[in-house]
Structure 1
Amino acid sequence: MGGSLPQKEANLFKTIVRSYETKQYKKGLKAADAILKKFPNHGETLSMKGLTLNCMDRKAEAYELVRLGLKNDLKSHVCWHVYGLLYRSDREYREAIKCYRNALRIDPDNIEILRDLSLLQAQMRDVAGFVETRQQLLTLKPNHRMNWIGFAVAHHLNSNASKAIDILEAYEGTLEDDYPPDNERCEHGEMLLYKISLMEECGFLERALEELHKKESKIVDKLSYKEQEVLLLVKLGLLEEGEKLYRMLLSMNPDNYRYYEGLQKCMGLLSESHCYSSDEIDRLEALYKSLGQQYSQSSAVKRIPLDFLNGKKFREAADNYIRPLLMKGIPSLFSDLSPLYDHPGKADILEQLILELEHSIRTTGGYPGRTEKEPPSTLLWNLFYLAQHYDRRGQYDTALVKIDEAIEHTPTVIDLYSVKSRILKHAGDLVAAAALADEARCMDLADRYINSECVKRMLQADQVALAEKTAVLFTKDGDQHNNLYDMQCMWYELASGESYFRQGDLGRALKKFLAVEKHYADITEDQFDFHAYCLRKMTLRTYVEMLKFQDQLHSHDYFRKAAGGAIRCYIKLYDSPSKSAAEEDGEISNLPASQKKKMRQKQRKAEARAKKEAEVKNEDSNASGASKSGKRNVKPVDLDPNGEKLLQVEDPLLEATKYLKLLQKHSPDSLETHLLSFELNMRKQRTLIAFQAVKQLLRLDAENPDSHCCLIKFFHKVGAMPAPVTDTEKLIWAVLEAERPTFSQLHEKSLLEANTQFLEKHGDSLMHRAAVAEMLYVLDPSKKAEAIKLIEDSSNNLVSINRTLGPVGKWKLNDCIAVHKLLGTRLNDNDAALRWKARCTQFFPYSTYFEGSCSSAIPSSAYNQIHKNPENLGATHPDTGHSADSISSNGKLEKLEASIKDLIV
């Protein structure tokens, strides 16, 4: 290092390196300036100064100095290494790898560069290169434990687990018999468990079990030892031994559901479909009865039988399970039992059971068959459960009656208001739901969860400004946007983005969706530090799991929602370009080609200049806040707070394609992925790719109305195309002609016949009828009246009768809203839309969209009745369901009055 420098300057160069490693950046700069004063063209010093400046957030100067240093000394491995470090800090990993490889050509045995290169190869999943680099490190330094482990992990990642086992065993052969010392026992035990998991992965089960027993004394984590042992026993078919071990594990943790599942598997009583014969149910009942006597305090041993019991036995077990939890007042009881609602008949039994308990408490003060009186709170939690039960079943009137009675019983319980808010949201009154959530929030201003739930309700009601003010209560220094972004608060950004999209603010919506995408990029980046840490700390099993998790990261729901939202924004932007962009294009389009190019170059330069000025201004304002190390604590300036620049893309569909590719790679089994692909590629006129999307939709769900629409639209569009002229067009035409008969829906049928057949098959479904009607209009616009009649002839088949307030049907609120939009926009018939709205008002009286009679969409009559007539102060307010005097006593009448006036406006 610091070659060709005199002794004094060479020592100063070492000071620069030490200062960089210890983050004493000002000291390092001082030493660098001292060298450069005498040797201004010394390449390695220039590079190190640039690297130091990079750590002080002076990137432009850093790159300039590092490039100058490399130019002055192209044959220095230090300059190339520093250049790689600079690229690495900016996540330019491929460029960094190139720099490291250039450095290794000059100094092929440099262990530090090899180690840095191996970390980047692991990050980029260049597993072949990772194996090669790790082998070189092991060859150069075979007495270092981390090099052996890294070489083994590299082979494991390269799908060669057997080779990894050989390497670990070779490493163990270099150890002494009394290894490990006390301070390394945990790390060595983890390495042994990792080796045994590799044997299991390779199918060497007997060898793995033998090795596990042999090394028992050296494995510190005894719980992991037992869990690994029982897995091997079950896989080897040694079920009796496995059963004993699972019972031992249950004695350690009787609330671990995985242990119960394993015990059932050992006894041959595990079914993934939860379908058991009567004999199996009897055996399971006996098993859990004995376990219940053994672990009387375990909730799992009481809850699990509810999944497999039926009829009277289910009712008895549910009764025994529910009674003490209602008495204790467990708010999460309904969440605990909600999976049972997917089992046929169990929801009816639970309803009957809870209603009997309610009746008994009301009449006798206690549970049926008991003389002891229950505390008054038992009735409260009974009503609380019933409200959620009726909400789950879509009986919103009854649910509201129950929750209002619970609030009247004990008006200080916050959970009651949260549940009432949820019921109103499901019923379609989003404004009232937000008001109730805000009331719950005001009852405990220190509860972050309730605050978050309130913010979510406000965003669902498109009250974005109010949601931001509420969210800011729990952010640092009142900095709402930056703080929530720094915390990677993705639920907020998704809900906010969806709200902006509904309101037509594509700029802000895109900004929120792309922020979520950026979080996933940050999560991917965050794994970098663990490549070295996990090998050093020997957390190898967790490390490999983390890498597998990272490989599937973009398949998670939040990313799928964010990418889908961004694509929808770009498609809408393409269909309806923003006004400013359209005007700008209109001005430029009249210019000659050469002037167009100059104009666009000027625009780009002006934007870059404005950005640089903002950065300089920001740096100056934060200069006083520099830390001792010289690094400024600079908050990034948001140059586009409203997302206006995001809308000024030249090709929205090209931007959308970037996110579509990620969805196609990581979420190929999602229907939405291929729906978006179809919409995007039809606009791009990429016929064969759109055709592939149609095939994927039919593969996933051929009976889905969206799949049917895409199929009909595609072949209708193809049929309307002019005759092929070019060779490419002829080839595409030939492919489509050959493929069309393979679709059973279209085989020897016209598109109209296929559409009619789809109606015959799914005539009872509202959304299927709507899809058929839309396609009928697409195929033949003259049949618009027939298409509308198809929708209006839909019947809302009644599935139950609400004992309190009328009928309950199969139609879902969101489906009816979608049909209303279809009538008003795509079918363009306002009269039919009005008729549909009037019809849906009867079925959804709480829906603000349909302006139902019980919704807050028309609150003036009820409000005026309370406000103008003092004798009606006991009447309930349409937003909250509370009496006007209670609202006034809480100091909220003025607030509600203002919100109601806003609604009227």
Structure 2
Amino acid sequence: MGASLPPKEANLFKLIVKSYETKQYKKGLKAADAILKKFPDHGETLSMKGLTLNCMDRKAEAYELVRRGLKNDLKSHVCWHVYGLLYRSDREYREAIKCYRNALKIDPDNIEILRDLSLLQAQMRDLAGFVETRQQLLTLKPNHRMNWIGFAVAHHLNSSGSKAIEILEAYEGTLEDDYPPDNERCEHGEMLLYKISLLEECGFAERALEELYKKESKIVDKLAYKEQQVSLLVKLGRLEEGEKIYRTLLAMIPDNYRYYDGLQKCLGLHSENGQHSSDEVSQLDDLYKSLRKQYNWSSAVKRIPLDFLHGEKFREAADSYIRPLLIKGVPSLFSDLSPLYDLPGKADILEKMILELEESIRTTGGFPGSAPKEPPSTLMWTLFLLAQHYDRRGQHDLALTKIDEAIEHTPTVIDLYTVKGRILKHAGDLRAAAALADEARSMDLADRYINSECVKRMLQADQVGLAEKTAVLFTKDGDQHNNLHDMQCMWYELASGESYFRQGDLGRALKKFLAVEKHYADMTEDQFDFHSYCLRKMTLRAYVEMLKFQDRLHSHPYFHKAAAGAIRCYIKLYDSPSKSATSDDGELSGLLPSQKKKLRQKQRKAEARAKKEAEEKNEEESGAAGVSKTGKRQHAKPVDLDPHGEKLLQIEDPLVEGTKYLKLLLNNSSKLLETHLLSFELNMRKQRTLLAFQAVKQLLKLDPECPDSHRCLIRFFHRVNHLAAPTTDSEKLIWSVLEAERPSLSQLHEKSLIEANRSFLEKHKDSLMHRAAAAEMLFVLEPEKKLEAVNLIEESTNNLVSTNGALGPVKEWKLKDCIAVHKLLETVLADLDAASRWKTRCAEYFPFSTYFSGHRSSVFPQTTDQESRDAPENGVNDQEANSGDSHPPNGKLEAFKDLHI
């Protein structure tokens, strides 16, 4: 580098490179300026100066200098390499790869460029190119350990595990017998475990086990050694040896559920669906009794039998498990027991048992059959558990009675208020739930978790302003937006986005949903530094797992929620464009397309200029425009020029934007019903008939009995039946495909749409949501039968499931389903009288629901005339008690409690 310069300037050029590597940017700039004073057109110096300026956040100057340098010296590999580094810093990886390849045409054996290229190929999953580059690096420098390992990993990622094993064995052949030295034992042991896991993955279990025993002395991680050993033994069917290893592992970590599961497999007592025969249950019971004697301090050995025991044995095991935890006062007990409610009959046994415990503690002060008196707090924790039990079963009145009794018993326990808020949320009173969560928060202002719970409740109640003020309490310098975004606090952004969507503020909703999508893009970028780090540190198993995780990153539930939320926003924006977008279109309506394009370009430039000016002004005001020792500018946080998301609404085609996120969902969340529902809605609006039909087929494949699947099926073919006769070749082709596919759908086989809808109703006449779907489709197919459709819904009955006789009925209807039916009556069927009747009916079923104005909800007047006159004297009036827009005063929770007596 810099070979074309005289000796003095060549040394200065080396100083630029060294200063860049050591982050002494000011020093590097000074040296570059000294060279350019004599040689103003020296390409490599211009490029290096640009690269240095890029590190000082002066990107515009950096690109200009690097391009000038490349123009002046196209045959310099340094200029191409620097250009690639510049693109890499801006995450333009494909452009960076092109630059690196051009550099390698000039200097094909440059190790540094090859190494940088390999990192980008791994990042972009260009696995064939990754293998090729790593082979080249190994050929050039075979005495470097990292090149051997990198070549093996490249083959592994490229689905050539056997080749990777050969490379690792060849590498081991180059090592001396006494290798590794003490300072490399851990890294070498990791490499050996990686090789053994590769052998297992390729199906060479016997060979992997031999290798494991052979290299035992060189493997430092003994826990990983035993886990790998037992995995191989089980695969080879050597279950007796596997059982011994699992028992050894349990002696090391007796609370690891995976070890218990593995032990059951070795004993032939494992079941994929959780169902066991009576003999297996008896053997499992004996097994865990013996294990309980060995590990009586382990909670796992006591909890696992609750999953497979039944009847009286289950009751005894649950009783012995629950009692100590009630005495200790473990708030998470119900969360631990919650999975048991999905198993038939166990919820009833738990209810009866807990009620007996409560009765015994009330009357005798101790548990049934136990002489010692229990501490007074035991009754409170029993009521706490019972309240959550009733809440889980949908008996919110009983749940509130028990939790109120617990609060009266010990009013200083924060968990009681948190759980009461959760019960009210499930019952439908979101405002009162938020108020209770705020009361719990005020009892411990230093607890971040309780603060977060309070923020969640406020967002669920659409109190976004209050939620933001509350969230600020735990952010740096009260900078709520930047800090929560920087911390990737996705639950907050999703909850606030959903709240804005419910309120019809699509701009802010989109802003929040797209912020979550940005976090996942950042996670994808964050893997870049690990491509070299993991190979250097030999954390190979973790590295490969990380890459596999990154490949399925967009299947994470949070990303699905964000992408689905963004798509719903774009669909709603398409159905009813915002006023701002409409007014802009009105201004541009008289212009030609080319003139519109020019005007929009001018607007974008003006926005960029305004953003730059705002950032500069912000830097000046905050005094943050200084320069650090390294020469890097200390910029203030970027200014958000679109805090309300108004610019996000001014897009030309919302459906095109929505399609970007739909593709990600189809690639990563194709097994979820919502993905194909969104695909159907989007493609129906885009008039992509075959793609909409594909979505219908997927819905029927995933859940043919789902009301939404039925809706989409009927809507699609109703739309197709009303299309004009095909004229073009493409339309005729689409028509022929649909005609050929229709008979294959069992729901429509030899049936008209009306008959198919009637058949669906007969099959599911006892289900509210299925009746609602059938009624809606009846109205779509035959609008004149609107009254019949309404009657179908109103004739629905709420079947009551009794639990333990007189303990109270559990309603089959769900609150969210009833709300959806009310909206259907109000909007789609447009029958306001029927909607009003439905609301009155549901207010009886859900007395705590604010949506239906239930008589026990916070929106229902709770006081008599005399109480209203007395209220100001007591310090709390109705407006304060029922308001969801302000914090309840501390110590005034009674105003909210009284609503739910």
TM category (shorter chain) comes to over 0.9
The answer to whether the 8 Å contact 2:619/2:625 transfers is no
Per the TM alignment, residue 629 of structure 1 is displaced from its structure 2 partner at its CA by 1.3
What secondary structure, in the 3-state scheme, does the structure 2 residue paired with 1:246 have? helix
Q: Unmatched 5+ residue regions in structure 1? A: 882-886, 901-905
Q: Name the counterpart of 1:800.
A: 802
Q: Name the counterpart of 2:450.
A: 450
| 2:483 is the alignment partner of 1:474 | no
Q: Name the counterpart of 1:257.
A: 257
C-alpha distance 804-18 of structure 1, shift in aligned 2 (>3 A) = farther
Q: Name the counterpart of 1:309.
A: 309
The answer to whether the 8 Å contact 1:859/1:878 transfers is no
Q: Name the counterpart of 1:721.
A: 723
Separation in structure 1 between the aligned mates of residue 468 and residue 34 of structure 2, nearest angstrom: 52
Separation in structure 2 between the aligned mates of residue 343 and residue 705 of structure 1, nearest angstrom: 26
Q: Name the counterpart of 2:780.
A: 778
Per the TM alignment, residue 27 of structure 1 is displaced from its structure 2 partner at its CA by 1.1
The one-letter code of the counterpart of 2:827 is T
The answer to whether the 8 Å contact 2:683/2:689 transfers is yes
Q: Name the counterpart of 1:639.
A: 641
The answer to whether the 8 Å contact 1:855/1:878 transfers is no
The one-letter code of the counterpart of 1:669 is K
Separation in structure 2 between the aligned mates of residue 631 and residue 807 of structure 1, nearest angstrom: 68
Separation in structure 1 between the aligned mates of residue 880 and residue 766 of structure 2, nearest angstrom: 35
Q: How many residues align?
A: 893
Q: Name the counterpart of 1:413.
A: 413
Separation in structure 2 between the aligned mates of residue 637 and residue 874 of structure 1, nearest angstrom: 42
Per the TM alignment, residue 60 of structure 1 is displaced from its structure 2 partner at its CA by 0.7
Q: Name the counterpart of 2:666.
A: 664
What secondary structure, in the 3-state scheme, does the structure 1 residue paired with 2:120 have? helix
Per the TM alignment, residue 613 of structure 1 is displaced from its structure 2 partner at its CA by 2.8
| 2:565 is the alignment partner of 1:565 | yes
Q: Name the counterpart of 1:268.
A: 268
Separation in structure 2 between the aligned mates of residue 782 and residue 365 of structure 1, nearest angstrom: 67
Deviations 1:212-248 (A, max 9, x none): 0000000000110011001100100001111111111
The one-letter code of the counterpart of 2:627 is A
**Aligned residues: CA RMSD:** 2.1
TM superposition score normalised by structure 2: 0.97
Per the TM alignment, residue 438 of structure 1 is displaced from its structure 2 partner at its CA by 0.2
Per the TM alignment, residue 858 of structure 1 is displaced from its structure 2 partner at its CA by 2.2
The answer to whether the 8 Å contact 2:366/2:374 transfers is yes
Q: Name the counterpart of 1:10.
A: 10
C-alpha distance 864-849 of structure 1, shift in aligned 2 (>3 A) = farther
What secondary structure, in the 3-state scheme, does the structure 2 residue paired with 1:528 have? helix
What secondary structure, in the 3-state scheme, does the structure 1 residue paired with 2:247 have? helix
Q: Name the counterpart of 1:837.
A: 839
Deviations 1:734-774 (A, max 9, x none): 11111111111111111000000000011111111000011
Per the TM alignment, residue 26 of structure 1 is displaced from its structure 2 partner at its CA by 1.0
The answer to whether the 8 Å contact 1:866/1:872 transfers is no
The answer to whether the 8 Å contact 1:292/1:302 transfers is yes
The answer to whether the 8 Å contact 1:246/1:263 transfers is yes
The one-letter code of the counterpart of 2:233 is L
What secondary structure, in the 3-state scheme, does the structure 1 residue paired with 2:625 have? helix
Q: Name the counterpart of 2:365.
A: 365
Q: Which 10-residue stretch deviates more, 795-804 or 222-231?
A: 795-804
Superposed counterparts of 1:296-695, under 5 Å: 296-621=296-621, 623-634=624-635, 635-695=637-697
What secondary structure, in the 3-state scheme, does the structure 1 residue paired with 2:446 have? coil
Q: Name the counterpart of 1:884.
A: none
Separation in structure 2 between the aligned mates of residue 737 and residue 496 of structure 1, nearest angstrom: 45
What secondary structure, in the 3-state scheme, does the structure 2 residue paired with 1:799 have? strand
The answer to whether the 8 Å contact 1:436/1:880 transfers is no
What secondary structure, in the 3-state scheme, does the structure 2 residue paired with 1:316 have? helix
C-alpha distance 880-204 of structure 1, shift in aligned 2 (>3 A) = farther
The one-letter code of the counterpart of 2:705 is E
The one-letter code of the counterpart of 1:648 is Q
Q: Name the counterpart of 1:703.
A: 705
Per the TM alignment, residue 579 of structure 1 is displaced from its structure 2 partner at its CA by 0.7
C-alpha distance 323-603 of structure 1, shift in aligned 2 (>3 A) = same
Greater relative contact order structure (CA < 8 Å, 6+ sep):
2
Q: Name the counterpart of 1:903.
A: none
Per the TM alignment, residue 675 of structure 1 is displaced from its structure 2 partner at its CA by 0.4
The answer to whether the 8 Å contact 2:871/2:877 transfers is no
Q: Which 10-residue stretch deviates more, 785-794 or 10-19?
A: 10-19
Per the TM alignment, residue 586 of structure 1 is displaced from its structure 2 partner at its CA by 2.0
What secondary structure, in the 3-state scheme, does the structure 1 residue paired with 2:801 have? strand
What secondary structure, in the 3-state scheme, does the structure 1 residue paired with 2:660 have? helix
Per the TM alignment, residue 585 of structure 1 is displaced from its structure 2 partner at its CA by 1.1
TM superposition score normalised by structure 1: 0.96
C-alpha distance 889-300 of structure 1, shift in aligned 2 (>3 A) = closer
Per the TM alignment, residue 863 of structure 1 is displaced from its structure 2 partner at its CA by 10
Separation in structure 1 between the aligned mates of residue 871 and residue 474 of structure 2, nearest angstrom: 40
Q: Name the counterpart of 2:891.
A: 890
Deviations 1:564-609 (A, max 9, x none): 0000000000000111211221232233455434433433333333
The answer to whether the 8 Å contact 2:395/2:808 transfers is no
Per the TM alignment, residue 860 of structure 1 is displaced from its structure 2 partner at its CA by 5.9
What secondary structure, in the 3-state scheme, does the structure 2 residue paired with 1:458 have? helix
The answer to whether the 8 Å contact 1:862/1:877 transfers is no
The answer to whether the 8 Å contact 2:802/2:808 transfers is no
The answer to whether the 8 Å contact 2:149/2:535 transfers is yes
Separation in structure 2 between the aligned mates of residue 356 and residue 47 of structure 1, nearest angstrom: 81
Superposed counterparts of 1:98-177, under 5 Å: 98-177=98-177
Per the TM alignment, residue 37 of structure 1 is displaced from its structure 2 partner at its CA by 1.0
Q: Name the counterpart of 1:83.
A: 83
What secondary structure, in the 3-state scheme, does the structure 1 residue paired with 2:434 have? helix
The one-letter code of the counterpart of 1:240 is E
Per the TM alignment, residue 803 of structure 1 is displaced from its structure 2 partner at its CA by 8.4
The answer to whether the 8 Å contact 1:496/1:512 transfers is yes
The one-letter code of the counterpart of 1:508 is R
Per the TM alignment, residue 780 of structure 1 is displaced from its structure 2 partner at its CA by 1.1
| 2:816 is the alignment partner of 1:820 | no
The answer to whether the 8 Å contact 2:625/2:634 transfers is no
The one-letter code of the counterpart of 1:758 is F
| 2:812 is the alignment partner of 1:810 | yes
Per the TM alignment, residue 627 of structure 1 is displaced from its structure 2 partner at its CA by 1.9
Separation in structure 1 between the aligned mates of residue 462 and residue 399 of structure 2, nearest angstrom: 25
Q: Which 10-residue stretch deviates more, 782-791 or 3-12?
A: 3-12
Q: Name the counterpart of 1:761.
A: 763
Q: Name the counterpart of 1:214.
A: 214
The one-letter code of the counterpart of 1:394 is G
What secondary structure, in the 3-state scheme, does the structure 2 residue paired with 1:596 have? helix
Deviations 1:266-297 (A, max 9, x none): 00000121111111111111111111011111
Deviations 1:8-58 (A, max 9, x none): 111111111111111111111111111111111111111111111111111
Identity percentage of aligned residues: 80
